[in-house]
Amino acid sequence: MNKRNPLSFAFKMCMDLNARAVVVIDNNNYVLGQITLSDMISLGEGKLQTLRVYEAGIVPVIRVHCSAPATDLIRIFRDKDPPIVAVVDSNEKFVGTILEREILKYISDVLDTKN
């Protein structure tokens, strides 16, 4: 989610993806942090409709490199319970996000292939 996007767009993305947060990036694809769905809701409808993402209280987000093993992600979600994890490349540029349910699905798929 680009920091200049309307906050209402970030809210819609969370709702559409059933995510508790979105990762916020700058114009060069560097991760700035995250904004949580609960923080967006607490701002109220008026601010949700008028603010840009960068005006809404970006907080730190956990980052992992795209080469990180799934076991690292399992540990992160188990120990820290983040709403979202940002995936970055070797230049620290944003690649994508991981949600806990995606890791659980991956584990389930791996177990299914072994049976």
Q: What is the pLDDT of residues 22-59, one digit of tens each?
A: 999 999 999 999 999 999 999 999 999 999 999 999 99
DSSP string of 50-67, one letter each residue: H-BGGGS--B--EEEETT
Angle at 41 between CA 104 and CA 105, to 5 degrees: 10
Report whether pLDDT(16) > 80. yes
Write down the pLDDT at residue 18: 93
Write down the pLDDT at residue 83: 95
Tokens 């694809």, residue? Answer: 29
> What CATH superfamily classification does 7-114 receive?
CBS-domain (3.10.580.10)
Write down the pLDDT at residue 51: 97
- Going by C-alpha positions, the residue among 20, 48, 44, 45 that lies closest to residue 34 is 20
Write down the pLDDT at residue 100: 85
Angle at 52 between CA 17 and CA 98, to 5 degrees: 30
State the average pLDDT for the chain: 93
Instruction: Say what percent of the chain tops pLDDT 90.
Output: 81
Write down the pLDDT at residue 115: 66
Number of residues in the chain:
115
How far is it, in rounded angstroms, from Cα 93 to Cα 87? Answer: 8
pLDDT tens, position by position, 67-113: 999 889 989 998 999 999 999 999 999 999 999 888 877 777 777 77
